[in-house]
Chains A and B, each alone.
Chain A
């Protein structure tokens, strides 16, 4: 229940999510990785609120913002996937190399 324990679990979640974001070909799986990363941030924010300055609501606000970001990221991600799929019948990041220099 110490701050370090919380932050360790948050770091683990973040790292796992990062691994997913970096390694998954499928866009949906990639987005799962992103969700996990935000998950870690939620845990870290809550832990800082509780263990460092519980009197101030800032940590809670951070958690709230992170949750919102998760939802928005999900919505935009699926909208993009839908557009991509409609345009090219693609659902894998490797086939969407439009930003190639």
Chain B
């Protein structure tokens, strides 16, 4: 039962991934990706990682929604109404990807993987929580700092006109220099 579910989910995940680059419409591509992630979330929950699975599912749903917004903002062909390919060098890419897959698959089957030691703890989520609040604290701190830096950097990058553009380098201008009225 579990094996069947796993294979279904695994094939679904890969198929969703392939679909992302096959379909014309951007919306479909987004949802194909979402499907792929949902399947991965499912596979995670199959191996007693329900927390991480749910995390992946929730995060990816939000992420795909945001992505869809950006798609519609930026893509020339968001609905795939005009048949057009937006690829370069597909053959080379396919070759590289194929050879990487071949190599990885060979590695998967040729490597003598170590035997399993021990069994999963009764509550893997709890173990994960104790780990990141204990021995793996450094990882968490680094991740936190990276998230903060990303927030700042993305806001700075994406902002069209910031305080310094409006009030001068020293922030001395009483009246902001705006191209139009009504604030930034």
Using known A-B contacts A54-B121, A80-B157, determine if residue A9 contacts B10 with beta carbons closer than 8 Å.
yes
B117 touches A23 (CB 8 A): no
Contact A36 B6 (CB under 8 A): no
Residue in B2, B49, B116, B139 whose beta carbon sits within 8 Å of that of A65 in the complex? B139
Say what secondary structure dominates the interface of chain B: helix
Shortest Cβ distance from B63 into A: residue: A74
Within 8 A of B (CB), among A1-48: 1, 3-9, 11-20, 22-29, 31-33, 35-36, 39, 42-43, 46-47
How distant is B40 from chain A, measured CB to nearest CB, in Å? 6
Cβ-defined contact, A85 with B74, below 8 A? yes
Minimal beta-carbon separation of B83 from chain A (angstroms): 15
User: Digit string of A54-91 for contact with B (CB within 8 Å is 1, else 0)?
Assistant: 11011011011101101110111011111101100001
Residues of A at the B interface (CB closer than 8 Å) are 1, 3-9, 11-20, 22-29, 31-33, 35-36, 39, 42-43, 46-47, 49-55, 57-58, 60-61, 63-65, 67-68, 70-72, 74-76, 78-83, 85-86, 91-92, 94
